[in-house]
Amino acid sequence: MLSAEEVNLLKRACNSIKIFVGQSAMINHTNYRTRDAHATPHFTLCGTFSLYDNFEEHIVFPAGQTDCIIRISNPHMKLVSQKSSIPAYGFSLKIFNNQETILNLPMVNFPLFPIINISRFLKIFTALNVFFSGGFLQKFWQTLKIAKNTIAVSPGFFHPSFMIQVKRFLAKWNHFILSHDYHSIGAYRLGDHIVKYKLVPVAVDVKSAEKRIDQAIEDYFSNHHYELELMVQFCYNLKDQPVNRLNKMWKNSDFISIGRIKINNLIDKEDRAVEEMSFNPFESISGLKPVGRIQKLRDEAYKISLNTRNGN
Protein backbone atom coordinates (compact mmCIF):
# COMPACT_ATOMS: atom_id res chain seq x y z
CA MET A 1 0.00 0.00 0.00
CA LEU A 2 1.02 3.61 -0.56
CA SER A 3 0.92 6.28 2.14
CA ALA A 4 -1.27 9.37 1.78
CA GLU A 5 1.80 11.46 0.90
CA GLU A 6 2.87 8.94 -1.75
CA VAL A 7 -0.62 8.87 -3.28
CA ASN A 8 -0.57 12.67 -3.54
CA LEU A 9 2.90 12.64 -5.12
CA LEU A 10 1.78 9.95 -7.56
CA LYS A 11 -1.10 12.20 -8.68
CA ARG A 12 1.40 15.00 -9.32
CA ALA A 13 3.65 12.61 -11.21
CA CYS A 14 0.75 11.45 -13.39
CA ASN A 15 -0.15 15.07 -14.15
CA SER A 16 3.44 15.72 -15.21
CA ILE A 17 3.31 12.61 -17.44
CA LYS A 18 0.16 13.92 -19.11
CA ILE A 19 1.79 17.28 -19.81
CA PHE A 20 5.03 15.77 -21.10
CA VAL A 21 3.39 13.15 -23.34
CA GLY A 22 0.94 15.78 -24.58
CA GLN A 23 3.94 17.85 -25.77
CA SER A 24 6.13 14.90 -26.80
CA ALA A 25 5.43 15.21 -30.53
CA MET A 26 6.73 18.78 -30.45
CA ILE A 27 9.62 17.89 -28.11
CA ASN A 28 10.76 14.99 -30.32
CA HIS A 29 9.83 16.58 -33.67
CA THR A 30 7.52 13.71 -34.63
CA ASN A 31 3.98 13.48 -35.96
CA TYR A 32 2.89 11.28 -33.06
CA ARG A 33 3.07 11.35 -29.27
CA THR A 34 5.81 9.23 -27.71
CA ARG A 35 5.98 7.24 -24.50
CA ASP A 36 6.94 8.88 -21.21
CA ALA A 37 9.88 6.48 -20.88
CA HIS A 38 11.54 4.09 -23.32
CA ALA A 39 10.48 6.41 -26.13
CA THR A 40 13.03 5.13 -28.65
CA PRO A 41 12.17 1.78 -30.26
CA HIS A 42 15.18 -0.22 -31.51
CA PHE A 43 13.09 -3.05 -32.94
CA THR A 44 10.05 -5.22 -32.22
CA LEU A 45 10.25 -9.01 -32.27
CA CYS A 46 7.35 -11.38 -32.82
CA GLY A 47 7.28 -15.06 -31.88
CA THR A 48 5.86 -17.76 -29.66
CA PHE A 49 6.14 -18.79 -26.02
CA SER A 50 6.00 -22.45 -25.04
CA LEU A 51 5.61 -23.39 -21.38
CA TYR A 52 7.56 -26.48 -20.30
CA ASP A 53 5.29 -29.42 -19.46
CA ASN A 54 7.03 -30.16 -16.17
CA PHE A 55 6.67 -26.67 -14.73
CA GLU A 56 4.64 -27.12 -11.55
CA GLU A 57 2.85 -23.76 -11.83
CA HIS A 58 1.71 -24.35 -15.41
CA ILE A 59 -1.93 -23.88 -14.41
CA VAL A 60 -1.32 -20.10 -14.21
CA PHE A 61 -0.40 -19.96 -17.90
CA PRO A 62 -2.62 -21.31 -20.66
CA ALA A 63 -1.56 -24.74 -21.87
CA GLY A 64 0.26 -25.10 -25.16
CA GLN A 65 1.87 -22.44 -27.32
CA THR A 66 0.99 -18.76 -27.08
CA ASP A 67 2.05 -15.68 -29.04
CA CYS A 68 4.46 -13.04 -27.83
CA ILE A 69 5.85 -9.65 -28.80
CA ILE A 70 9.07 -8.05 -27.52
CA ARG A 71 9.65 -4.31 -27.90
CA ILE A 72 13.35 -3.42 -27.59
CA SER A 73 13.95 0.17 -26.51
CA ASN A 74 16.17 2.82 -24.97
CA PRO A 75 14.99 3.98 -21.49
CA HIS A 76 15.39 7.72 -22.12
CA MET A 77 12.21 9.84 -22.02
CA LYS A 78 13.16 11.51 -25.33
CA LEU A 79 14.00 9.94 -28.68
CA VAL A 80 17.72 9.20 -28.97
CA SER A 81 20.05 8.06 -31.72
CA GLN A 82 20.29 4.40 -32.69
CA LYS A 83 23.99 4.82 -31.85
CA SER A 84 23.29 5.44 -28.17
CA SER A 85 26.55 5.36 -26.19
CA ILE A 86 25.05 4.04 -22.94
CA PRO A 87 24.06 0.35 -23.29
CA ALA A 88 20.86 0.61 -21.26
CA TYR A 89 18.05 -1.33 -22.91
CA GLY A 90 14.40 -2.08 -22.36
CA PHE A 91 12.90 -5.43 -23.30
CA SER A 92 9.13 -5.31 -22.89
CA LEU A 93 7.53 -8.74 -23.27
CA LYS A 94 3.84 -9.31 -23.99
CA ILE A 95 2.54 -12.90 -23.94
CA PHE A 96 -0.98 -13.19 -25.33
CA ASN A 97 -3.52 -15.67 -26.64
CA ASN A 98 -6.29 -14.76 -29.09
CA GLN A 99 -5.59 -11.05 -28.46
CA GLU A 100 -6.04 -11.52 -24.67
CA THR A 101 -3.01 -10.39 -22.66
CA ILE A 102 -1.67 -13.11 -20.39
CA LEU A 103 1.49 -11.39 -19.15
CA ASN A 104 2.97 -7.92 -19.69
CA LEU A 105 6.55 -7.92 -18.45
CA PRO A 106 8.66 -4.75 -18.77
CA MET A 107 12.30 -5.82 -18.43
CA VAL A 108 15.74 -4.19 -18.55
CA ASN A 109 19.34 -5.36 -18.82
CA PHE A 110 20.21 -4.26 -15.27
CA PRO A 111 18.66 -6.31 -12.44
CA LEU A 112 18.40 -3.69 -9.68
CA PHE A 113 16.85 -0.29 -9.01
CA PRO A 114 18.75 1.95 -6.57
CA ILE A 115 15.86 4.04 -5.18
CA ILE A 116 13.67 2.46 -2.49
CA ASN A 117 12.23 5.71 -1.09
CA ILE A 118 9.01 6.11 -3.09
CA SER A 119 8.47 9.78 -2.22
CA ARG A 120 11.96 10.73 -3.37
CA PHE A 121 11.58 8.67 -6.55
CA LEU A 122 8.29 10.36 -7.42
CA LYS A 123 9.80 13.79 -6.84
CA ILE A 124 12.71 12.98 -9.17
CA PHE A 125 10.43 11.48 -11.80
CA THR A 126 8.05 14.46 -11.71
CA ALA A 127 10.94 16.90 -11.93
CA LEU A 128 12.29 15.09 -15.01
CA ASN A 129 8.94 15.35 -16.77
CA VAL A 130 8.66 19.04 -15.98
CA PHE A 131 12.29 19.61 -17.01
CA PHE A 132 11.75 18.19 -20.50
CA SER A 133 8.37 19.85 -21.05
CA GLY A 134 9.02 23.23 -19.40
CA GLY A 135 10.74 26.48 -20.26
CA PHE A 136 14.16 27.79 -19.21
CA LEU A 137 13.22 28.81 -15.65
CA GLN A 138 11.40 25.53 -15.06
CA LYS A 139 14.44 23.60 -16.27
CA PHE A 140 16.61 25.52 -13.81
CA TRP A 141 14.36 24.83 -10.79
CA GLN A 142 13.76 21.21 -11.76
CA THR A 143 17.51 20.65 -12.06
CA LEU A 144 17.87 21.78 -8.45
CA LYS A 145 15.05 19.45 -7.37
CA ILE A 146 16.56 16.51 -9.23
CA ALA A 147 19.97 17.16 -7.67
CA LYS A 148 18.54 17.56 -4.15
CA ASN A 149 16.52 14.34 -4.24
CA THR A 150 19.22 12.36 -6.03
CA ILE A 151 21.69 13.27 -3.29
CA ALA A 152 19.12 12.17 -0.69
CA VAL A 153 18.78 8.70 -2.27
CA SER A 154 22.45 8.32 -3.22
CA PRO A 155 23.25 5.81 -0.42
CA GLY A 156 21.16 3.28 -2.33
CA PHE A 157 23.66 3.43 -5.17
CA PHE A 158 26.40 2.21 -2.83
CA HIS A 159 24.68 -0.90 -1.50
CA PRO A 160 27.20 -3.76 -1.98
CA SER A 161 24.71 -5.76 -4.03
CA PHE A 162 24.11 -2.80 -6.33
CA MET A 163 27.83 -2.07 -6.73
CA ILE A 164 28.53 -5.67 -7.74
CA GLN A 165 25.90 -5.45 -10.47
CA VAL A 166 27.34 -2.14 -11.69
CA LYS A 167 30.73 -3.84 -12.08
CA ARG A 168 29.15 -6.67 -14.07
CA PHE A 169 27.23 -4.18 -16.20
CA LEU A 170 30.41 -2.28 -17.08
CA ALA A 171 32.09 -5.55 -18.10
CA LYS A 172 29.30 -6.04 -20.69
CA TRP A 173 29.39 -2.45 -21.96
CA ASN A 174 30.16 -3.36 -25.57
CA HIS A 175 28.13 -6.56 -25.75
CA PHE A 176 25.56 -7.08 -28.50
CA ILE A 177 22.07 -6.01 -27.41
CA LEU A 178 20.52 -9.46 -28.02
CA SER A 179 23.20 -11.21 -25.94
CA HIS A 180 22.19 -9.54 -22.65
CA ASP A 181 20.08 -11.14 -19.93
CA TYR A 182 16.93 -9.13 -19.18
CA HIS A 183 15.36 -8.77 -15.74
CA SER A 184 12.05 -7.75 -14.25
CA ILE A 185 12.46 -4.78 -11.93
CA GLY A 186 10.40 -5.80 -8.95
CA ALA A 187 8.38 -8.89 -8.14
CA TYR A 188 5.28 -10.53 -9.57
CA ARG A 189 2.65 -13.03 -8.54
CA LEU A 190 2.89 -16.51 -9.97
CA GLY A 191 -0.28 -18.12 -8.71
CA ASP A 192 0.17 -18.30 -4.94
CA HIS A 193 3.89 -17.49 -5.14
CA ILE A 194 5.98 -14.35 -5.58
CA VAL A 195 8.74 -14.38 -8.20
CA LYS A 196 11.19 -12.34 -10.21
CA TYR A 197 11.63 -13.01 -13.93
CA LYS A 198 14.68 -13.23 -16.16
CA LEU A 199 15.08 -13.74 -19.91
CA VAL A 200 18.28 -15.52 -20.94
CA PRO A 201 19.25 -15.71 -24.65
CA VAL A 202 20.32 -19.08 -26.03
CA ALA A 203 23.80 -19.13 -27.62
CA VAL A 204 24.10 -15.53 -28.84
CA ASP A 205 27.53 -14.08 -29.65
CA VAL A 206 28.35 -11.01 -27.54
CA LYS A 207 30.08 -9.27 -30.46
CA SER A 208 28.51 -7.29 -33.29
CA ALA A 209 30.33 -5.41 -36.03
CA GLU A 210 27.42 -3.05 -36.70
CA LYS A 211 27.31 0.06 -34.50
CA ARG A 212 23.70 1.08 -35.17
CA ILE A 213 21.54 -0.88 -32.76
CA ASP A 214 18.58 -1.35 -35.08
CA GLN A 215 20.82 -2.41 -37.98
CA ALA A 216 22.74 -4.83 -35.75
CA ILE A 217 19.48 -6.52 -34.75
CA GLU A 218 18.31 -6.75 -38.37
CA ASP A 219 21.67 -8.14 -39.50
CA TYR A 220 21.58 -10.78 -36.78
CA PHE A 221 18.22 -12.11 -37.90
CA SER A 222 19.38 -12.41 -41.50
CA ASN A 223 21.67 -15.28 -40.42
CA HIS A 224 20.49 -16.53 -37.02
CA HIS A 225 17.53 -17.79 -35.06
CA TYR A 226 16.82 -16.15 -31.70
CA GLU A 227 15.54 -18.02 -28.67
CA LEU A 228 15.31 -17.11 -25.00
CA GLU A 229 14.65 -19.00 -21.79
CA LEU A 230 12.01 -17.45 -19.54
CA MET A 231 13.13 -18.08 -15.96
CA VAL A 232 11.69 -17.38 -12.50
CA GLN A 233 13.24 -16.95 -9.06
CA PHE A 234 10.94 -17.75 -6.13
CA CYS A 235 10.52 -15.71 -2.96
CA TYR A 236 10.67 -18.02 0.07
CA ASN A 237 11.22 -15.42 2.82
CA LEU A 238 11.43 -11.63 2.80
CA LYS A 239 14.84 -11.55 4.47
CA ASP A 240 16.62 -13.37 1.64
CA GLN A 241 14.25 -12.27 -1.13
CA PRO A 242 12.98 -8.77 -0.22
CA VAL A 243 10.09 -7.57 -2.37
CA ASN A 244 10.50 -3.83 -1.72
CA ARG A 245 14.32 -3.58 -1.53
CA LEU A 246 14.95 -3.27 -5.24
CA ASN A 247 18.65 -2.40 -4.78
CA LYS A 248 19.41 -5.83 -3.33
CA MET A 249 19.80 -9.10 -5.22
CA TRP A 250 17.78 -12.08 -4.01
CA LYS A 251 19.82 -14.91 -2.52
CA ASN A 252 19.26 -18.58 -1.63
CA SER A 253 16.84 -18.95 -4.53
CA ASP A 254 17.98 -20.24 -7.92
CA PHE A 255 16.42 -19.25 -11.23
CA ILE A 256 14.58 -22.07 -12.96
CA SER A 257 13.41 -22.23 -16.58
CA ILE A 258 9.67 -22.33 -17.12
CA GLY A 259 9.49 -22.02 -20.91
CA ARG A 260 11.10 -20.90 -24.13
CA ILE A 261 10.51 -18.00 -26.49
CA LYS A 262 11.22 -18.48 -30.20
CA ILE A 263 11.33 -15.40 -32.40
CA ASN A 264 10.13 -15.92 -35.95
CA ASN A 265 9.53 -12.41 -37.27
CA LEU A 266 10.69 -8.79 -37.04
CA ILE A 267 8.25 -5.89 -36.93
CA ASP A 268 9.27 -2.48 -38.21
CA LYS A 269 10.34 -0.35 -35.25
CA GLU A 270 8.22 2.51 -36.62
CA ASP A 271 5.04 0.39 -36.72
CA ARG A 272 2.38 2.63 -35.20
CA ALA A 273 0.34 -0.34 -33.93
CA VAL A 274 3.26 -1.35 -31.69
CA GLU A 275 3.92 2.20 -30.55
CA GLU A 276 0.27 2.49 -29.50
CA MET A 277 0.50 -0.79 -27.60
CA SER A 278 0.47 -0.96 -23.80
CA PHE A 279 2.92 -3.03 -21.76
CA ASN A 280 1.29 -2.20 -18.42
CA PRO A 281 2.07 -5.20 -16.15
CA PHE A 282 -1.23 -4.67 -14.31
CA GLU A 283 -3.04 -5.72 -17.48
CA SER A 284 -1.75 -9.27 -16.94
CA ILE A 285 -4.13 -12.00 -15.78
CA SER A 286 -4.83 -11.97 -12.04
CA GLY A 287 -2.38 -14.76 -11.18
CA LEU A 288 0.54 -12.90 -12.80
CA LYS A 289 0.14 -9.30 -11.61
CA PRO A 290 2.94 -7.21 -10.03
CA VAL A 291 3.68 -7.17 -6.30
CA GLY A 292 5.34 -4.44 -4.24
CA ARG A 293 5.21 -0.72 -3.52
CA ILE A 294 7.36 0.52 -6.43
CA GLN A 295 5.34 -1.69 -8.77
CA LYS A 296 2.18 -0.01 -7.49
CA LEU A 297 3.28 3.24 -9.14
CA ARG A 298 3.29 1.70 -12.59
CA ASP A 299 -0.43 1.13 -13.04
CA GLU A 300 -1.61 4.74 -13.02
CA ALA A 301 1.56 5.99 -14.75
CA TYR A 302 1.20 3.54 -17.64
CA LYS A 303 -2.51 4.29 -18.01
CA ILE A 304 -2.11 8.05 -18.17
CA SER A 305 0.76 7.72 -20.65
CA LEU A 306 -1.25 5.39 -22.90
CA ASN A 307 -4.40 7.51 -22.78
CA THR A 308 -2.48 10.68 -23.55
CA ARG A 309 -0.56 9.06 -26.41
CA ASN A 310 -3.84 7.95 -27.93
CA GLY A 311 -5.38 11.40 -27.55
CA ASN A 312 -7.71 10.66 -24.63
User: Distances from the Cα of 15 to the Cαs of 76, 126, 280, in angstroms?
Assistant: 19, 9, 18
Q: Which domain holds residue 186?
A: 38-300
Confidence (pTM): 0.92
Could you tell me the CATH number of the domain that includes residue 58?
2.40.180.10
Residue 121 lies in a domain: yes
Any idea what DSSP says for residue 37?
S
> Residue 139 falls within a domain, yes or no?
yes
The answer to whether residue 306 is domain-embedded is no
Count of C-beta atoms within a 10 Å radius of residue 136:
6
72, 177 in Cβ contact below 8 A? Answer: yes
> Tens digits of per-residue pLDDT, 173-219?
999 999 999 999 899 999 999 999 999 999 898 887 678 899 999 99
pLDDT in tens, 216-255: 999 999 889 999 999 999 999 999 999 999 999 999 999 9
In a domain, 274, yes or no: yes
pLDDT, tens digit (0-9, with 9 covering 90-100), for 141-182: 999 999 999 999 998 888 898 999 999 999 999 999 999 999
10 assigned to some structural domain:
no
Identify whether 18 is part of a domain.
Answer: no
> Distance of CA 295 to CAs 158, 187, 244, Å?
22, 8, 9
Would you state the pLDDT for residue 57? 67
- Model pLDDT, residue 58: 67
Q: Kindly indicate the confidence band of residue 55, based on its pLDDT and cuts at 50, 70 and 90.
A: confident
Alpha-carbon distance 304 to 310, whole Å? Answer: 10
3-class DSSP state of 88: coil
Spatial separation of the C-alpha atoms in residues 303 and 189, rounded to whole Å: 20
Average pLDDT value for residue range 284-300:
93
Q: What is the pLDDT of residue 140?
A: 92
Assigned domain for 14 exists: no
Q: Quote the number of domains for the chain.
A: 1
Residue 82 has pLDDT above 90, yes or no: no
Whether 59 is in a domain gets the answer yes
